Copies of this chain bind each other. A is one copy, B any other.
Amino acid sequence: MSNDRVKALVEDLERLLLDFMRKHRITHEEYRLATVILVGTVKAGEESLLYDVFLEAEATDIGNDGREGSPEVLKGRSISPTLLCLRRPMCFLSGSTRLVTFCSSTAGLPTRQVNPWQGLGLDLWQADAEGLYSNIHPGIPDWNLRGQIRSDANGTYEVQTVLPPPYEIPKDGPTGRVLSALGRHFFGPAHLHVKLRHPSYGELTSQIYFRDGQYLNSDVASAVRDGLVASLKRNENPEDLSAKGLSLPYYEVRYDFVLAPHHAHDARRVA
Q: Is A241 an interface residue (CB 8 A)?
A: no
Cα–Cα, bound, A61→B179 (Å): 29
State the interface size on chain A (CB cutoff 8 A): 53
Q: Is the CB of A54 within 8 A of B9?
A: no
Cα–Cα, bound, A60→B33 (Å): 14
Cβ contacts under 8 Å, A25 to chain B:
62
Nearest-CB residue, chain B, relative to A8: B24
Q: Is the CB of A39 within 8 A of B47?
A: yes
The answer to whether A20 and B10 touch (CB under 8 A), given A28-B63, A31-B56, A60-B28, is: no
Cα–Cα, bound, A52→B18 (Å): 12
Cα–Cα, bound, A270→B164 (Å): 65
Interface of chain A residues 1 through 59 with chain B (CB within 8 A)? 1, 3, 5-14, 16-18, 20-22, 24-36, 38-39, 42-43, 47-48, 51-52, 54-56, 58-59
Mark contacts of A52-80 with chain B using CB atoms, 8 A cut-off: 1 yes-contact digit, 0 otherwise: 10111011101100000000101000000
Q: Is A103 an interface residue (CB 8 A)?
A: no
Nearest-CB residue, chain B, relative to A43: B42
Interface of chain A residues 108 through 132 with chain B (CB within 8 A)? none
The answer to whether A1 and B33 touch (CB under 8 A), given A7-B182, A22-B62, is: yes
Q: Is the CB of B181 within 8 A of A3?
A: yes
Q: Is the CB of B11 within 8 A of A59?
A: no
Q: Is A245 an interface residue (CB 8 A)?
A: no
Q: Is A139 an interface residue (CB 8 A)?
A: no
Cβ contacts under 8 Å, A38 to chain B:
38, 42, 48, 51
Q: Is A178 an interface residue (CB 8 A)?
A: yes
Cβ contacts under 8 Å, A3 to chain B:
181
